[in-house]
Structure 1
Amino acid sequence: MASRANSKGKGKMGKGSKHGESRSATKAVKEWTTWVMKRAKTVTHYGFIPLVIIIGMNSEPKPSIAQLLSPV
């Protein structure tokens, strides 16, 4: 197989280059955002129905758990 040329490695970047620091900061923000969104999706997926039940149990008039879970 033919080897690929790495276009990111072109150019000279000295130590402490601001462009390199901003690239790593951008990458860190993207990784952090992805991590947070995955966790938020999981929490929303598993937490929505229990949240609805808890809110329903604390409302007036107080329904029984069977009334909350029945489709009618």
Structure 2
Amino acid sequence: MAAKASLKVKAKGKGSKGSPSSSSSKYELFKDWTNWSLKKAKVATHYGFIPLIIVLGMKSDPNTHLFQLLSPV
């Protein structure tokens, strides 16, 4: 039980998120926002890349059908 109390004191000692006016908290906020947006962009790219290629292929000059795009021949 004493170990938990000492851990709580150490966690309160950091205090980087307690004061919004310090430059380190602005940096942490910017870092968190950047990480969040990059994770969302990664997911959007992961799930949107192949459908984008299919749509672009269907709108190309020789009009192709979906079956022709997906067939290996």
TM-score relative to the length of structure 1: 0.72
Partner of 1:27: 28
Deviation at 1:64, TM superposition (A): 1.1
- Partners in 2 of 1:24 and 1:56 — Cα distance? 47
Which one-letter code corresponds to 1:59 in the other structure?
S
Deviation at 1:71, TM superposition (A): 1.8
Which one-letter code corresponds to 1:61 in the other structure?
P
Which one-letter code corresponds to 2:53 in the other structure?
V
Root-mean-square deviation (Å)? 2.5
Partner of 1:44: 45
Q: What fraction of aligned residue pairs are identical, expressed as a percent?
A: 52
Which one-letter code corresponds to 2:24 in the other structure?
R
Runs of 4+ residues deviating >2 angstroms: 1-6
- Partners in 2 of 1:53 and 1:40 — Cα distance? 20
Unpaired runs of 5+ residues, structure 2, are none
Partner of 1:65: 66
- Partners in 2 of 1:36 and 1:53 — Cα distance? 26
CA deviations 1:25-55 (Å, max 9, x no partner) are: 0000110011001101110111001100110
Q: Per the alignment, in what secondary structure is the counterpart of residue 61 of structure 1?
A: coil
- Partners in 2 of 1:22 and 1:71 — Cα distance? 55
Unpaired runs of 5+ residues, structure 1, are 11-15
Matched positions, count: 64
